Amino acid sequence: MIINPIIPIWLMTIISILLIIIIIYNKQFKEKFNNKLNKEKTPRQSKMLKQHFTNIIIKIAIVILLFIINLRFMLPNGETTALNSDLSILFVIDTSVSMRALDYNGNRERFEGVVSDCCYIVDELSGCKFSIITFGNKAQKLIPFTTDSDMVQAELQAIHLEDDFYAEGSSMNLSKDILEKTLKKEQQKQKGNSKFIIFFVTDGEITKERENLQSFSSIKQYISNGALLGYGTSTGGKMVSSAYSEDPSSPYYYLNYYDDNYNNVPAISKIDEKNLKQIASDIGIDYIQMSKQTNINYKLKDIEREISNSQTNEEKINSYQDIYYYFAIPLAFLLIVDFIVQKRRMQ
């Protein structure tokens, strides 16, 4: 059995402890507990106090189940044989607010296209090792290099774009240091036997004040193939508010800003192909404008030929099955019980 936490364990521990403290030390409970100590209770009052203790226990059990579900326990599901290549594929994905703009393949959200296209790449190039770096307000490596394509696709689908309320402006330079550090470390780990393919995924926008695009030429020495995948159009697309992204009917669905004449106008994000082509040239990879998924096909065929000519070996890998839903059943039951208890107390 392994765990694959959704929220980091340390953060979920803090959240759980705070929730339990709030549950136990709420004002109503303290008053009832102090009254019990100070005077004798009628049978009805004793019954009410007992019900209150039961309610506390139910709520604590709910928090514990949420903590367990977050751990995401996974059971071994047998072994599969994978044909592994010495090629390692690295996704570098822009998670800034502008990736919510609605101009992918018509009027779809850019990041919807990103997830679909990256999962497609994983399917087509299975057998390679994959890793993911994201950059928005900060740059981070989500997973180390792995041949588990199911895990990679799950991580891709779980990526969240930054909240526009906390956005600090788009920076293309933010990814450079962690990208170079990751490639250098993995090359040393593989003793120079690994070749790297990069898919740099972004719209190329730089909105941070007084920031100019740095050279990415130091990355070129590590890369044997890949592509810079540009998302967006020259006419641009309206940007969606993170708080109302699930409600297109809301008047706040689109992001707005006040222009120089104090008019409230929709925020439009446009692709910056100058930046994209510059990064692609620095790294020595192709630039592909991703208006639709098939645009990547020629590059995938090129990489597949490289894989067929590279060193490969068979490796047995363990596959795992999620069992969090086993804990979701008692959680749902306790939530229903808690709802019924609260409703009765209000009557």
Could you read off the pLDDT of 280-320 as tens digits, one per residue? 999 999 999 999 999 999 999 999 988 887 655 555 556 67
pLDDT at 46 over 70: no
Residue from 314, 308, 320, 299 nearest 229 by CA: 299
pLDDT of residue 49: 65
Q: Phi and psi of 5, rounded to 5°?
A: -55, 145
Cα gap 159→92, rounded to integer Å = 12
In the numeric block, which tokens belong to residue 345?
């107390």
Amino acid, single-letter form, for residue 310: S
Q: Please, are residues 229 and 296 in contact by the beta-carbon 8 Å criterion?
A: yes
The answer to whether residue 102 scores a pLDDT higher than 80 is yes
Q: CB 322: neighbour CB atoms within 10 A? A: 13
Pairing of β 195-202 and β 223-230? parallel
Residues with Cβ < 8 Å from 16, sequence gap 6 or more?
63, 64, 66, 67
Residue 345: the pLDDT is: 65
Percent of all residues in the chain with a pLDDT value above 70, rounded to a whole number: 85
Distance (Å, whole) CA 275 – CA 176: 14
Residue 243, helix vs strand vs coil? helix
Q: How far apart are the first and last CA of the chain?
A: 46
| Residue 187 CB coordination number (10 Å) | 17
> Amino acid identity, residue 14?
I
Tell me which range, 169-173, 214-218, 334-338, is most confidently predicted by mean pLDDT.
Answer: 214-218
Using an 8 Å Cβ cutoff, are 241 and 307 in contact?
no
Taking Cα atoms as reference points, which of 188, 204, 108, 92 lies closest to residue 140? 92
Write out the H or E segment, with its range, that includes residue 176.
helix 176-189
Q: Are 72 and 4 in contact (CB under 8 A)?
A: yes
- Give strand pairing partners of 225: 197
Q: What is the pLDDT of residues 61-76, one digit of tens each?
A: 999 999 998 888 888 7
Q: In the beta sheet, which residues pair with residue 313? A: 84
Q: Which residue has the tokens 């100058």?
A: 274
Residue 159: predicted pLDDT: 93
- The CA distance from 44 to 47, in Å, is 5
Q: What is the mean pLDDT of the chain?
A: 85
CA nearest 135: which of 253, 190, 255, 216?
A: 216
**What is the band of 29 on the pLDDT scale with cuts at 50, 70, 90?**
low
Sign (positive or negative) of CA dihedral 4, 8, 12, 14: positive
Put residue 314 in one of left, alpha, beta given phi > 0 → left and psi -120 to 50 → alpha. beta
